[in-house]
Structure 1
Amino acid sequence: MELESKSHCDEQHPHQAEDTSRKHMQNSKLSAGIKKDIEKLYEAVPQLVNVFKIKEKIGEGTFSSVYLATAQLQTGCEEKMALKHLIPTSHPLRIAAELQCLTVAGGQDNVMGVKYCFRKNDHVVIVMPYLEHESFLDILNSLSFEEVKEYMFNLFKALRRIHHFGIVHRDVKPSNFLYNRRLKQYALVDFGLAQGIPDTKIELLKTVHSEGQQDSVHHSAQRSVFGERNFNIYCSTYQENSNTKLIRQSKMIDLSSRKLVTKKKITSTKAVSNGVGRKAASGCPSNLTCDCYATDRVCSVCLSRCQQVAPRAGTPGFRAPEVLTKCPTQTTAIDMWSAGIVFLSLLSGRYPFYKASDDLTALAQIMTVRGSRETIQAAKTFGKSVLCTQVVPAQNLRTLCEKLRGTNSSCNRSQGDMPSKSGDDSALPVEVDKQCAPETLRKEIQHLKSCQEGDGASEIKATDMKGWDQVPDEAYDLLDKLLDLNPATRITAKDALLHPFFKDMSV
């Protein structure tokens, strides 16, 4: 067994022969660990023993693990299956809601379905069809423009399907949209973070939605169960006592304004931490107006406000502006924004396109592409005030993507600079103000410029263009509509499929 493993290692990495023995030892330890996990799964859910032969673990996350298994059919053939084992600490309601999403909406239009479900005590295993798929990062720069077009078309079909049932996926990204390039097969997976809109057809999501609104700031680092590492924010669905909620809300006060670090700010934060600030704020008359707007301090009026809690589930870099600013009313439009980020990565050849450590940095990154004035104006439409210390113009999406990809389209048509939204810039009364610090914004602008000036971008030979020299304006028009900062006017999955970009494809 050791010799076979070593041979396989050498075959995959011939240029790293000197590290073979070290890697072999690591692989042996990994295999032993996986073997132990498989044995534990058989013990936890003994019904699996007579039905499935578990081959290997193909993904591991905070709340679940996924295994590749084969099932012996009556015809004598073996069929590959994916077994998703939900860990016992997952809330029963969340598990049931995920299962209902798969059974009701799954199995059609590129949405993963479910074949069986096994349960023993608090262990649940969901059995799904297995789709062999490629890593998005590995194939990103080898995809032809036509393949990208087909990829996005099939993603919109999946989103149209789940949105029809009132399901908000909340974690749309490449690693959750499996893609078999050879067979041209697709599957939207992982509904563990899904929520429902008010009139959702998934009954269990109605309960998850109402409870999730009460406490959605609990978060933990998580890896996608289908292999690609990411950091998800999990919306807790269980009831908590008031003391726990108060502790978490106090943390949010520090988090929402931590970028503005000055002596005054530090003093103000300490006052909140030791309770003095809260005591003074609680007695603050309601008719007083804020006097710290656009300054580097937090006044007692702002400290007395109830901190707004809103769902923040999703992966950093894919969260919509309304999620970053904690808008309490979130719709299927957040999935369309995430799809827009996927499209932006495909057109620019950069993945991940955005990578931020916190929500304020993420908002600053969005501004560097979509413009500060546009972001501020859009935030007003959903009752939020965003303060930016400098004006950042919106980028031309075609120019941006072509610079990053290293191509020059032969199409001379250009959509020009992105139009700014009209209206005055006076702030509306809001519950939470967000301010992007000058240093944060400066760094993001500089990073974007360095990327455009050649940070890894290279000219592609004309013979290898694969259609990237003929990208039509319709592609960037659709991208613009997907990255609409206003969720109310952002394009829907249904309308995206009818966009002129897909005029030669049948819905």
Structure 2
Amino acid sequence: MEETGPARNDSQSIDGHVKADRKKRGRKVSRDVEMDIDYLHKAVPQLSKVFRITDKIGEGTFSSVYLGEAQLMDGKREKFALKHLIPTSHPVRIAAELQCLTVAGGRENVMGVTYCFRKDDHVVIVMPYMKHQPFVDILGSLSFEEVRLYIYHLLKALRHIHQFGIIHRDIKPTNFLYNRQEKTFALVDFGLAQGTVDTQIELLKELSGLCRTPRAVFGERNLNSCTPAPAKSADTKIELVKPSKTEDPATRAFVSVIRHPLSTRTPASSQKQPRTPAVNLGLTCNCYMTDRVCNVCMSRKQQVAPRAGTPGFRAPEVLTKCPNQGTAIDIWSAGVILLSLLTGRYPFFKANDDLIALAQIMTIRGSRETTQAAKEFGKAVMCSCELPRQDLRTLCETLRGRSSPDDEAMPLHPPNIDIANPQEPPTEEPGGRNAEENVPEPQDEGGWDQVPEEAYDLLDRLLDLNPATRITAQQALHHPLFTGF
């Protein structure tokens, strides 16, 4: 990819070309966008030799995306998406995202990478530009056949990256682009990707070991704040330091919410606490269901539990901070997308707090079922009342048939729930933005009056509460719903 004309090194020349191009297109951008584009040109000056940046088309927690045009060697002009990563992103994280795009991208509905620019701590990833419509704008007009096509191609992309041992971790409509006219799709944004134990992406292995320091399960550690350990020289002295008896800050924060002093014994004169039998799998101990914490719980090994992702699309095992998470979390997110497609409600779940999000899931999948599933992957969940499991067809048809566009996307009044491993209030995670609004109700046309039972069966299997039995992308592509594809 080369520029055939003279190099545009002069900032005034660049600005003039960009403004003329916008005038020709009738495009108007805000002053803030113009300032961002100017900043990008100054931060990575070599971009101006190849691209004419005309607009800012996306912005996330750790990056901004710009629309640029380049003149190819044959004289044609082609559009590209330029993803500018924030300077504080960890180098290994950036390299891992690039490797995901290079190894798995460019086929099977997964976005590829064309080029990469770097200037000091600024990195710009160049990708093919794909024209698409925002999910929120087209949801109300999609036919059922389009929904079937959309979810099929999403599962196709997931099967492809899962074969490489890539866990995307942020599957949502804004990361799965859809060109409605050309019927093309593209899975984007591997900025939060992690690897499975057998991943083929070498840098994902290094990334998983980068922050493997013991820490409490009080939210995921931000990789952008990680600093590599300094290399040890041959003459470096290693000293053994006796552990201090000072309490860990996380422990103190937890202890402060306990009403009574920590103790494993009570004086004979005091009233004995009622004891509840412990359940299997080592989930509880002798302080289970009481208002105190025993030494057994206090001495438990700290867990590493990723929570990255967007609120509303996190799987139950993510919400309960299960340390063993795999590709099944992407499948759950795909199920939430299908739920939005079948109900016409987006976003379907709206909760930034993990416990409220889990309660909302209970109102759909049932409290008893959620508790049992959590037990299977090593978590004890308690709910203040029993919530029945809802029939998915009835739920989807009822929500799709509502006439008031002012209804909440998911008007839930969740009960009080608790998890055996106490947590502090969750913090917002990378990619944890949920600014989409409700959309107009889709009309009862386009095949919506004849949705087959297979659609709800697939939805049920995608939203399996237990990741061990949740359907895989490979299995889902052979589901009867996609017969004839």
Mark yes or no: TM-score above 0.5.
yes
C-alpha separation between the residues in 2 aligned to 1:315 and 1:387? 24
Contact (CA 8 Å) 2:218, 2:423: kept in 1 or not?
no
Aligned to 1:452: none
Aligned to 1:342: 337
**Amino-acid identity (%):** 63
Match of 1:313 among 305, 308, 311: 308
Structure-2 change in CA distance of 1:202 and 1:456 (3 Å): closer
Stretches (4+) displaced over 3 A: 212-220, 233-237, 239-243, 245-251, 264-268, 289-292, 295-307, 455-460
Aligned to 2:378: 383
What are the equivalent positions in structure 2 for 1:197-216 lying under 5 Å apart? Answer: 197-214=196-213
C-alpha separation between the residues in 1 aligned to 2:442 and 2:318? 36
Contact (CA 8 Å) 1:387, 1:434: kept in 2 or not?
no
Task: Report SS of the residue matched to 1:84.
Answer: strand
Shift of 1:248: 5.5
RMSD: 3.5
Structure-2 change in CA distance of 1:469 and 1:213 (3 Å): farther
Aligned to 2:84: 85
Aligned to 1:175: 174
Task: Report SS of the residue matched to 1:127.
Answer: strand
AA paired with 1:107? G
What are the equivalent positions in structure 2 for 1:42-441 lying under 5 Å apart? Answer: 42-214=41-213, 234-235=222-223, 238-239=226-227, 246-247=248-249, 253=254, 267=259, 290-295=285-290, 298=293, 301-406=296-401, 432=421
Shift of 1:240: 8.4
**What whole-Å deviation, never above 9, does each CA across 1:178-203 have from its counterpart, x for those lacking one?**
11111111110000000000110000
Contact (CA 8 Å) 1:145, 1:471: kept in 2 or not?
yes
C-alpha separation between the residues in 1 aligned to 2:42 and 2:114? 22
C-alpha separation between the residues in 2 aligned to 1:43 and 1:295? 60
Contact (CA 8 Å) 1:42, 1:49: kept in 2 or not?
yes
C-alpha separation between the residues in 1 aligned to 2:249 and 2:126? 39
Shift of 1:298: 4.8
Aligned to 2:267: none
Structure-2 change in CA distance of 1:75 and 1:239 (3 Å): closer
Task: Report SS of the residue matched to 2:160.
Answer: helix
Shift of 1:485: 0.8
AA paired with 1:477? D
**What whole-Å deviation, never above 9, does each CA across 1:253-291 have from its counterpart, x for those lacking one?**
48xxxxxxxxx95646xx7xxxxx6xx79xxxxx9x845
C-alpha separation between the residues in 2 aligned to 1:210 and 1:431? 27
Contact (CA 8 Å) 2:285, 2:296: kept in 1 or not?
yes
Contact (CA 8 Å) 2:140, 2:442: kept in 1 or not?
no
C-alpha separation between the residues in 2 aligned to 1:250 and 1:500? 53
Aligned to 1:493: 473
**What whole-Å deviation, never above 9, does each CA across 1:151-174 have from its counterpart, x for those lacking one?**
001101110110010000000000
Structure-2 change in CA distance of 1:356 and 1:310 (3 Å): same
Report how many aligned residue pairs link the two structures. Answer: 402
C-alpha separation between the residues in 2 aligned to 1:456 and 1:100? 36
Aligned to 1:413: none
C-alpha separation between the residues in 1 aligned to 2:187 and 2:288? 43
Contact (CA 8 Å) 1:310, 1:328: kept in 2 or not?
yes
Aligned to 2:450: 470
C-alpha separation between the residues in 1 aligned to 2:195 and 2:52? 35
Task: Report SS of the residue matched to 2:318.
Answer: helix
Structure-2 change in CA distance of 1:246 and 1:200 (3 Å): farther
C-alpha separation between the residues in 1 aligned to 2:105 and 2:296? 49
Contact (CA 8 Å) 2:88, 2:224: kept in 1 or not?
no
Q: Does 1:480 align with 2:468?
A: no
Contact (CA 8 Å) 2:89, 2:224: kept in 1 or not?
no
**What whole-Å deviation, never above 9, does each CA across 1:464-489 have from its counterpart, x for those lacking one?**
51100110010011011101111111
Structure-2 change in CA distance of 1:326 and 1:379 (3 Å): same
AA paired with 1:197? T
C-alpha separation between the residues in 2 aligned to 1:186 and 1:216? 39
Task: Report SS of the residue matched to 2:149.
Answer: helix
C-alpha separation between the residues in 1 aligned to 2:287 and 2:228? 33
AA paired with 1:66? V
Contact (CA 8 Å) 1:385, 1:434: kept in 2 or not?
no
AA paired with 2:118? R
Shift of 1:294: 2.8
**What whole-Å deviation, never above 9, does each CA across 1:295-319 have from its counterpart, x for those lacking one?**
4555565445444330111111111
Task: Report SS of the residue matched to 1:49.
Answer: helix
C-alpha separation between the residues in 1 aligned to 2:228 and 2:106? 36
Which is richer in helix?
Answer: 1
Structure-2 change in CA distance of 1:146 and 1:100 (3 Å): same
Shift of 1:211: 2.7
C-alpha separation between the residues in 1 aligned to 2:121 and 2:439? 49
Task: Report SS of the residue matched to 2:448.
Answer: coil
Shift of 1:116: 0.3
Structure-2 change in CA distance of 1:434 and 1:42 (3 Å): closer
